[in-house]
Structure 1
């Protein structure tokens, strides 16, 4: 069974705004419907926010299912969606008219708002994302109210063990083979990568994380993954370079701002892409600890330490495991379809 995953929201129109404008709207008086703009403005991430520095962009995200009259009661937000144009000079409404029958009835909503994805990430305290296309296969954590863009793959799991397995060399090798390429950047094809990746036995996606939370191998993976994430965050936003400022209204993550101009200049260079391009010793050690822990979970720990797990060997073993599980699932489905015959009652 593959890991449940989703694409992020597809806007298909100018629904996003910069942080300065968003904060102006957040501090406006309550709308005629008695609701503040904070109910319909969300921080919004795409692949650039993962590989570079967060851009501080927000999404106009009116409640789904509203009639046009009700949507217009969010005055500033609805006006923005009504009059803003894309790079070709077209409004959202004009863009939807171009789509014809595929447009949907409510042009003031993102074209694909992904209600199922939203439901899933609302059920966990944080969720995993990775950019569909990037130079390095990077996984990071997000949590609501931050929403993901369509070029992000969303995994609604909150446990460090799953995060660690996905960020291991073993999964990276599989993703590079099962994915595709866009120019010089690997493309993570979620339907053929996550859907087919064979997790270690006992940690497969159909098993709740709570069921293996005390398993020694899972604990080791979780500890290594958590440490990797902690070290990266400390490097990206060191305490002596940044200050954390509460957002203008409650309910949003703190803003991370440079302490001064010198800090701002240094922080521009601190991106995950730059970090993985240079791959300093501390990062390499953190990944090696994670890779060893994941190999142990597969029962391959000794081979990993002995250097026997080349990329070809990893692919061979994963493919074999994939095929074995596919056969088991096929047999289970066939068995479920075959119902036992019931004896007919004899008539007197």
Structure 2
């Protein structure tokens, strides 16, 4: 949580990236794309952010001339008025820079994000380097299998029942919706801890041979869902993919002028409001793969929400008892 106007428009940030500094370092050390919930549910806003990390001293931060000048003018006056002494003293730093998150995603080629509050429970991939708003919930996993389980009907129902709400929008609260969710046997977060394994263009977690077929099947269904969604959000005929002015950043997706108005309507919220047949079918295929991992051979799309939740709760209770007895790791 930044608590200040560290934001910079994308075009302005790009104009700063190639400029020299007295420390001999590029502004790419302190300028990053910024992602919040609306960037996921709507169209990306192309907002960047100045980020001096966890504890960069003021003297060192000032050597990044234009980013520091921006924060000095846009952030310091407001920070001088706050009651929190640490935020006043370290006005050039984000108020809560999330060291645990930074550590968890370090070295990952991508990670999973979902808006904390949204009409639909949507999961997306985010590729670093980016800075994520505090209203995003991040899962520090890079494999398609974990993504698929989280985006399945089973986790959605669990999160809706155990989460809270803001007005008419469900709130994803990790302590009650994520930490309590019973992943399929052999595919729990304890089982699958570690860097993902690649098979072709699929990424799945390191699992035992017994659970590998289920992991690969879920990964394949999840990747297909994401590919179809991305093709709808950004049709190749309507957009250009532009490399950033500095290496290492994700490429930009820019609307072709004649399709700019149409592209604005291509949002995940609008897509899930409409839920066309192809999207519904992709989710059903994913749900079937996850159901098979649970060992629910009798699962079909007509199974009631209450029955799904009954089975998940039974598994949750079984795991909780085993954990309390020390029979399994959490």
- Same fold per superposition (TM over 0.5): yes
Q: Within 5 A, what are the aligned runs for 1:275-294?
A: 275-294=271-290
Distance apart, 1:92 and its partner CA: 4.6
Distance apart, 1:53 and its partner CA: 0.5
- Local SS of the residue matching 1:181: strand
Distance apart, 1:150 and its partner CA: 0.3
Aligned to 2:7: 16
Distance apart, 1:144 and its partner CA: 0.8
Indicate if the aligned counterparts of 1:126 and 1:143 stay in contact, CA closer than 8 A: yes
Indicate if the aligned counterparts of 1:175 and 1:188 stay in contact, CA closer than 8 A: yes
Indicate if the aligned counterparts of 1:174 and 1:193 stay in contact, CA closer than 8 A: yes
RMSD: 1.8
Structure 2 Cα separation of the partners of residues 91 and 170 of structure 1: 48
Matching of residue 255 in structure 1 with residue 252 in structure 2: yes
Of 117, 124, 128, the match for 1:133: 117
Aligned to 1:224: 221
1:263-320 CA-partner distances (Å, limit 9, x unpaired): 1011001000000000011001000100111111111132326x3x311111111111
Matching of residue 297 in structure 1 with residue 293 in structure 2: yes
1:72-121 CA-partner distances (Å, limit 9, x unpaired): 11111111111115xxxx735325x42235x3852211111111211111
Q: Give the number of the structure with larger relative contact order, counting CA–CA contacts within 8 Å between residues 6 or more apart.
A: 1
Structure 1 Cα separation of the partners of residues 217 and 166 of structure 2: 35
Distance apart, 1:203 and its partner CA: 0.2
Indicate if the aligned counterparts of 1:202 and 1:212 stay in contact, CA closer than 8 A: yes
- Local SS of the residue matching 1:91: helix
Structure 2 Cα separation of the partners of residues 92 and 68 of structure 1: 17
Indicate if the aligned counterparts of 1:82 and 1:93 stay in contact, CA closer than 8 A: no
Q: Which of structures 1 and 2 has the bigger CA Rg?
A: 1
Distance apart, 1:64 and its partner CA: 2.9
Distance apart, 1:258 and its partner CA: 1.1
Aligned to 2:77: 91
Of 86, 92, 98, the match for 1:108: 92
Output the TM-score relative to the length of structure 2: 0.91
Indicate if the aligned counterparts of 1:92 and 1:108 stay in contact, CA closer than 8 A: no
1:218-272 CA-partner distances (Å, limit 9, x unpaired): 1111110000000000001111000111111222111111122x31011001000
- Local SS of the residue matching 1:177: helix
Distance apart, 1:333 and its partner CA: 8.5
CA pair 247-49 structure 1, distance change in 2 beyond 3 A: same
Indicate if the aligned counterparts of 2:117 and 2:171 stay in contact, CA closer than 8 A: yes
Indicate if the aligned counterparts of 1:132 and 1:153 stay in contact, CA closer than 8 A: yes
Where do 5+ consecutive residues of structure 2 fail to align? 193-204
Where do 5+ consecutive residues of structure 1 fail to align? 1-9, 335-348
Aligned to 1:4: none
1:128-169 CA-partner distances (Å, limit 9, x unpaired): 000000010000000110221100000000111100000000
Segments ≥4 residues shifted beyond 3 Å: none
Indicate if the aligned counterparts of 2:288 and 2:299 stay in contact, CA closer than 8 A: no
CA pair 40-283 structure 1, distance change in 2 beyond 3 A: same
- Local SS of the residue matching 2:5: coil
Q: Within 5 A, what are the aligned runs for 1:1-348?
A: 10-28=1-19, 30-84=20-74, 91-95=77-81, 97-100=82-85, 103=87, 105-208=89-192, 209-212=205-208, 215-260=212-257, 262-304=258-300, 307=302, 309-332=303-326
Count of aligned positions: 315
Structure 2 Cα separation of the partners of residues 120 and 203 of structure 1: 19
